[in-house]
A = this chain, B = another copy of it.
Amino acid sequence: MTTSVAQWGLFEASFTGPSEGNPFMEVTLEATFQQGERQVRVPGFYDGEGVYKIRFMPDQPGIWRFVTRSNASEPDGQGGEVSVTAPLPGRHGPVRVANTFHFAHADGTPYLPFGTTCYAWTHQPLAMQAQTLETLAKTRFNKVRMGVFPKDYPYNVNEPLHDVYQRGADGELDFDRPNPAAFRQFETQVMALGALGIEADVILFHPYDRWNYSGMSAEQDYRYVQYLVARLGAHANVWWALANEYDFMLDTKPMAQWDRFFQIIAENDPYRHLTSIHNGAPTANYDHRQPWVSHVCMQHWDVKRTPEWRAAYGKPVVNDEPEYEGNLTEAWGNITAEELVHRFWTMALRGAYAGHGETYRHPEDLIWWAKGGELHGEAWQRIGFLRDILEESVTNGFEPVDASVRFSSRISAATDGDTTIIYLGEHQPEIWPYGLPKVDGDYEVDLIDSWAMTVTPAEIVPAPENHPVRHGAVSIAKAPSAAFAVKLPRRPGLAIRVRSRVRG
């Protein structure tokens, strides 16, 4: 039997097998997929009611053959042929690290993360989940942080749609028996996001919990990670976020356990999905230099520190919580829309990426950051505008450049290919020459208003004369001269974009 599937699509094979005892713990299953000399080991999983499954995401077109291995006779030794066709339109494969500090899909298409946060959206009533997807479709967000487990936290206390584990005869959750219905619902929404071109940043653990999912034993945790990876790994748009605020669980899950989670993922995810872990305290970043960490996932409000984070880890930096737009009581969730937009531009033009969340009070606690639903704020449109601006010019990823006399950390500026964008933020120079081309040429120079979302031709004026700057007896190099300068209106949140008209 040959099944056909598109490259980076989801191949699934089901088998019957034992249903007595606890198949989740007792029955092993894996498959080897082979194309030519290449062999890929793929873990399988028990989906309940005597059904076993193998999922596979082929990364190459052509014919693949597979065979299963199991300690149970029935799903053991099964096999078949998979014919892999060209990718579906708009599907570019999983996202990878590219050019040290950036990302690209497997087919090379640049991916600039513009994520948002809806921690428990897949645990809400189905109508609200549908509304979340409708809202996302109207935005330009291309990543959603979402937890496998439900959340118990201020403004977020309703019961989940499904228990993530099955309940025993005593009505208590049995952490040795995952609830396939919960995982299927989660997978449905991962796929729905995929159809919208959105990455699912799947959060495996978090501390905000009244069901004791976060209190499972280490062995149960390890089996959970393995089970989740076997189920979800073949979805192209999955990222592994080991935790939301892992450091608040160190009392019950010590650091070695977090390291082991990473290792289990590495052992069971043949696709090497992006993998990271998110901190709570500003001083508690995980050691993202570890080889099993693909990129930096973090929270910090002081986004001007971006150069420090890039230097510390040498990997892409995604600051998923530069605080949220809103008016909650909690200080992580009540900054102005203007400030959040400013933080996005600041990080993007320092060679890193920020994340969105929206936390406006709601009479029924329907808050985007927790439950999805509707957006009520003003930052999301501007963040979409920023994404459009960057994607219009991206090739390798915007790398920071010094667009100040001396210290780039005053101003955020970055270059990619023939495009330079200088974000002035709280700065309001009347005339700006720094970071602009030093030689005459055919340039397209635009003034961008990050809040008004406008792009207009910039007013070009002669570069100001360089007054020599002496350092005592030593005459230092003059400030870099530019071929021209830009005249600016007096208001914050402006950016200058320079592109060569002779495009590559």
> Secondary structure at chain A's binding surface: helix, strand, loop or mixed?
loop
Asked if A472 is at the interface (CB within 8 A of a chain B CB), the reply is yes
CA A97 to CA B243, docked complex, whole Å: 46
B471 touches A329 (CB 8 A): no
Number of A residues whose C-beta is below 8 Å from B?
Answer: 63
B252 touches A410 (CB 8 A): no
A492 touches B331 (CB 8 A): no
B429 touches A328 (CB 8 A): yes
Asked if A195 is at the interface (CB within 8 A of a chain B CB), the reply is no
Give the residues in chain B near A427, CB-CB below 8 Å: 331, 334-335
A473 touches B336 (CB 8 A): no
B470 touches A208 (CB 8 A): yes
A331 touches B474 (CB 8 A): no
A334 touches B301 (CB 8 A): no
Give the residues in chain B near A336, CB-CB below 8 Å: 426, 428, 492
Asked if A417 is at the interface (CB within 8 A of a chain B CB), the reply is no
Question: Given A327-B490, A339-B492, do A429 and B334 touch, yes or no (CB 8 Å)?
Answer: yes
Q: How far is the CB of A342 from chain B (nearest CB, A)?
A: 9
CA A198 to CA B410, docked complex, whole Å: 30
Give the residues in chain B near A464, CB-CB below 8 Å: 329
Give the residues in chain B near A154, CB-CB below 8 Å: 467, 469
B472 touches A407 (CB 8 A): no
A-side residues, CB < 8 A to B, are 152-154, 157, 207-210, 212, 214-215, 248-249, 251-253, 281-282, 301-302, 304-305, 323, 327-332, 334-336, 338-339, 361, 404-407, 409-411, 426-434, 464, 467, 469-474, 476, 485, 490, 492
19 A-B contact pairs sorted by A residue (CB < 8 Å): A152-B470, A153-B469, A154-B467, A154-B469, A157-B467, A207-B472, A249-B472, A251-B474, A252-B474, A302-B304, A302-B305, A329-B432, A329-B433, A331-B404, A331-B405, A331-B434, A336-B428, A338-B492, A339-B426
